[in-house]
Amino acid sequence: MRLRNIAGSRDVIAESPLVVHEPEKAKGKWKEIFKNDHPLRIEIGMGKGKFIYELAEKNPEVNYIGIEKYSSVLLRALQKMEEAPLPNLLFIRMDAEEIAEVFGREEVDRIYLNFSDPWPKDRHAKRRLPSKGFLARYDQFLKKEGVLEFKTDNKALFDFALAQLPEAGWEALQVTYDLHHDDRMKEGNIMTEYEEKFSSKGNPIYKYIIKR
Ligand code: SAM
């Protein structure tokens, strides 16, 4: 079955075995879903999935879940998976606001946020994925020693994200204001779609790695 020939991304997603439907039923049971006890890492707001696909390809001993709010975007990731499926990568279509309903305590050992939507208006600050409200959600399921990695080319969003940390009870382990010229932090970097687009325009990429 060629996904690209099927109209209606919602229908395709509903039928795809690569998408976990009713993911709240998998809470606390992700090892059973993947049929192994490998570590679990998630990307929230994965877009078309280039980053998480390459990560999963490089690390077969780690399980990955890509989370995306919009069916039309998730469909693009599914099309890529159809060409070369990976047993350690699954997808969820959901709004990250509900994410604490999907993963149990200590179930995830790393969270990736890449080029999250900036929501520039103050009244929308709560929707920003690195905001303290979201950090409190992540706190409910990230392993004690787990970390969160965030990349963006948006300086205002990055400054906001850093400023949220003390209040939320998190601390920065590593910070760079120019990832692609930072010898330590650029090692093994996998570019996202947005990262390719914005770094090719000459924008510096900001990144932090944080823990509680
Ligand atoms: N991470 C990709 C990259 O770096 O190329 C895509 C970045 S794009 C700017 C942000 C993505 O996050 C979009 O695909 C958007 O639909 C998704 N997104 C935004 N808010 C979300 C939320 N609350 N829950 C899940 N996905 C979300």
* Residue range of the domain that includes 120: 106-212
115 and 100 in a common domain = no
Q: What is the pLDDT of residue 5?
A: 43
117 and 94 in a common domain = no
**CATH at residue 160:** 3.40.50.150
90 and 63 in a common domain = yes
Average pLDDT over residues 65-79: 94
Residues touching ligand 1 (Cβ under 6 Å) are: 44-47, 67-70, 73, 95-97, 114-117, 192-195
Torsion of CA 137, 30, 14, 7, to 10 degrees: 80
Q: Which of 161, 167, 174 is nearest to 211 (CA)?
A: 174
Whether the pLDDT of residue 135 is over 70: the answer is yes
pLDDT band, very low/low/confident/very high, at 6 (cuts 50, 70, 90) = very low
Mean pLDDT for all residues in the chain: 95
Q: What is the pLDDT of residue 1?
A: 45
Q: What is the pLDDT of residue 58?
A: 98
- In one-letter notation, the amino acid at residue 211 is K
Q: Could you tell me which residues come within 8 angstroms of residue 189 by beta carbon, excluding any fewer than 6 positions away?
A: 179, 180
Each residue of 166-176: pLDDT tens digit?
999 999 999 99
82 and 14 in a common domain = yes
CB 11 within 8 Å of CB 19: no
CB 146 within 8 Å of CB 111: yes
181 and 99 in a common domain = no
- Domain end, chosen from 80, 104, 128, is at 104
Average pLDDT over residues 99-112: 98
Q: Which of 209, 43, 166 is nearest to 116 (CA)?
A: 43
76 and 118 in a common domain = no
In angstroms, rounded to a whole number, what is the distance separating the alpha carbons of residues 157 and 122?
A: 11
116 and 100 in a common domain = no
117 and 47 in a common domain = no
Q: What is the pLDDT of residue 139?
A: 98
Just list the catalytic residues.
Answer: 117
Whether the pLDDT of residue 200 is over 80: the answer is yes
Q: Which of 76, 119, 116 is nearest to 96 (CA)?
A: 116
Q: Which of 174, 169, 165, 176 is nearest to 205 (CA)?
A: 176
CB 32 within 8 Å of CB 12: no
Q: In the numeric block, which tokens belong to residue 20?
A: 């976990």
Q: What is the pLDDT of residue 7?
A: 56
pTM: 0.96
99 and 64 in a common domain = yes
User: From the CA of 186, how far away is ligand 1's center (Å)?
Assistant: 22
Average pLDDT over residues 158-182: 98
146 and 193 in a common domain = yes
192 and 111 in a common domain = yes
Q: In the numeric block, which tokens belong to residue 26?
A: 């998998």
Whether the pLDDT of residue 153 is over 50: the answer is yes
209 and 114 in a common domain = yes
In angstroms, rounded to a whole number, what is the distance separating the alpha carbons of residues 43 and 114?
A: 8
Whether the pLDDT of residue 4 is over 80: the answer is no
In angstroms, rounded to a whole number, what is the distance separating the alpha carbons of residues 203 and 192?
A: 14
Among 117, 134, 179, 207, residue to substitute to test ligand 1 (most atoms within 8 Å of Cβ): 117
Average pLDDT over residues 118-146: 98
Each residue of 44-55: pLDDT tens digit?
999 999 999 999
In angstroms, rounded to a whole number, what is the distance separating the alpha carbons of residues 157 and 20?
A: 30
Neighbours of 59 (CB within 10 A): 14
Report the share of the chain in percent with pLDDT over 70.
97
- Domain end, chosen from 104, 124, 148, is at 104
The count of structural domains within the chain is 2
- Domain end, chosen from 86, 104, 122, is at 104
User: From the CA of 162, how far away is ligand 1's center (Å)?
Assistant: 19
Q: Which of 76, 112, 106, 108 is nearest to 93 (CA)?
A: 76
In angstroms, rounded to a whole number, what is the distance separating the alpha carbons of residues 50 and 100?
A: 25
Report the share of the chain in percent with pLDDT over 90.
90
Whether the pLDDT of residue 62 is over 70: the answer is yes
Q: What is the pLDDT of residue 169?
A: 98
